[in-house]
Amino acid sequence: MNLQRSIRPSPAITVWLLLFTLFSSETVLSQGSLYRSGDVVRVSSTDTLQRQLFAAGEWVEIAGYLANDIYSVGNSITIEGTIVDDAFLAGETVTMQGVVGDMLVSAARTLIIDGQTGGDLIAAARTLRITENGRVGGNLFVAGNEIRMEGSSVAGRTRAAARSIYLDGTFADHVVIYSSDITFGPDYYSAGETKIVSNTPIYRDNLGVIPERLSIEVRRPPFFPFLIVQIWFYLSLLVTGIVLLHLFRPVAEEMQRFAKQRFWKNTGIGFLIFLLMPLILLLMMFPLITIPLAGLLGVLYLIVLFVSYLFVATLLGLQFILWFREEATPSTYYYGLALGLIIIAIMNNLPVIGVLFSFLLLFFGVGSFSNYLYMRYKQRADKKNVPYNNGSTDPATENPDKE
């Protein structure tokens, strides 16, 4: 898949919200699972799956009955059937028109909720729309660039953060809104307090229908301390990245060729690693004998996260440079690292979607780096098993050819 087409339109496809899976019902390691991948992954309306499903593909369509959880990463994800337990969805476009029995966690560029959830809805998207058919049986926590709720209902608390928010519908508990552009629809009703938190003044005349028990709080964040910390952070990343590129530039070149054709596959792998590794480390903390090993693996895990972030910054800047140049030179990688960090710094300072964009890159980087290490290990293992001219795989037993 073309990395240029994948990364540019997808700043909101970030799955930092999937950290909530660490606190979901049961660890995925203790349950039997189904794994499906490909260009198209489909569960038809006549299918019934009892085990939890891991699905990754360009198009994922779930029209059948799932009696357990679903974890899915794809370009387009559509849920039309019934999922008895939790759903964790990350994609370019996610549409939920069915039923999720418990919690729904999703991150997408475009997210449409036209069905119902029995539990909480936790979501982040550039554009998020909950239609008049949308029903949330628990709490609602959403973030994005534009959020529209068009006559939907929420049974629990509501927290929404976006550049632009339109709210219309019934809310059974307190509503807290983080935005400077808010409009209330004619049928908006909240049984609790409605609170707006903004960093600029809010004028009631611009809010549409003024709800009862409305309060407005204006917060102005400190600028200079935050700017100093940001400059220090990105300069430290740049220095570390330059040293690593100087030491391992051939590896960076090989990873760049390897990663750019496998965007969704590597993102899915990164998602699974980011999800499962903390669970594995947590389980290893219980037997006393494995605590030192868990600590060592934890340090290595943090190193992988850090290196992956630097790699994807380099790749992002490099792809931008290659739009204007036909081929890369050794110095292009250093320029790409600096440019990539600048792009990430700008995106991170955008409202709401900045942090989400950062985690998208982290997932892609972790998946690319891990998949690359696995492929290299597999290639070496295959090379070791190649027989020599005496039929053995041990080079020490090889008989040299006689002239």
Q: Write the pLDDT tens digit of every residue in 188-209.
A: 999 999 999 888 888 777 788 8
SS3 state of residue 85: coil
d(CA 183, CA 320): 38
pLDDT of residue 171: 95
d(CA 136, CA 218): 29
Task: pLDDT band for 95, please (50, 70, 90 cuts).
Answer: very high
Task: pLDDT band for 118, please (50, 70, 90 cuts).
Answer: very high
d(CA 94, CA 123): 11
Backbone angles phi, psi at 50, to 5 degrees: -95, -25
Q: Name, of 133-137, 295-299, 326-330, the range with top average pLDDT.
A: 133-137
Does 394 score more than 80 pLDDT?
A: no
Backbone angles phi, psi at 35, to 5 degrees: -120, 120
148 neighbors 171 (Cβ within 8 angstroms): no
pLDDT of residue 129: 95
Element (H, E) at 52: strand 52-62
pLDDT of residue 29: 43
Tell me the residue ranges of DSSP E strands in 80-211.
82-83, 87-96, 99-100, 104-113, 116-117, 121-130, 135-136, 140-154, 158-171, 175-178, 182-184, 189-190, 194-198
Average pLDDT over residues 268-280: 82
Please indicate whether residue 16 or residue 283 has the higher confidence score (pLDDT).
283
Does 313 score more than 80 pLDDT?
A: yes
pLDDT of residue 132: 94
Average pLDDT over residues 270-288: 82
Does 138 score more than 90 pLDDT?
A: yes
pLDDT of residue 20: 36
Task: pLDDT band for 383, please (50, 70, 90 cuts).
Answer: confident
Task: pLDDT band for 221, please (50, 70, 90 cuts).
Answer: low
Does 85 score more than 50 pLDDT?
A: yes
Of the candidates 194, 164, 167, which has an alpha carbon nearest to the alpha carbon of residue 179? Answer: 164
From 208-217, 250-259, 264-273, 391-400, the region with the lowest mean pLDDT = 391-400
From 105-119, 307-321, 387-401, the region with the lowest mean pLDDT = 387-401
pLDDT of residue 150: 93
Among residues of the chain, what percentage have pLDDT more than 70? 84
Average pLDDT over the chain, rounded to an integer: 81
Element (H, E) at 248: helix 224-259
Task: pLDDT band for 22, please (50, 70, 90 cuts).
Answer: very low
From 5-19, 148-162, 274-288, the region with the lowest mean pLDDT = 5-19
Q: Name, of 158-167, 241-250, 261-270, the range with top average pLDDT.
A: 158-167
User: For residue 391, what are its two tokens?
Assistant: 């039929």
Does 4 score more than 80 pLDDT?
A: no
What is the residue type of 127?
T
Taking residue 132's Cβ as centre, other Cβ atoms within 10 Å add up to 14
Beta bridge partners of 177: 160, 196
Q: Name, of 148-152, 274-278, 383-387, the range with top average pLDDT.
A: 148-152
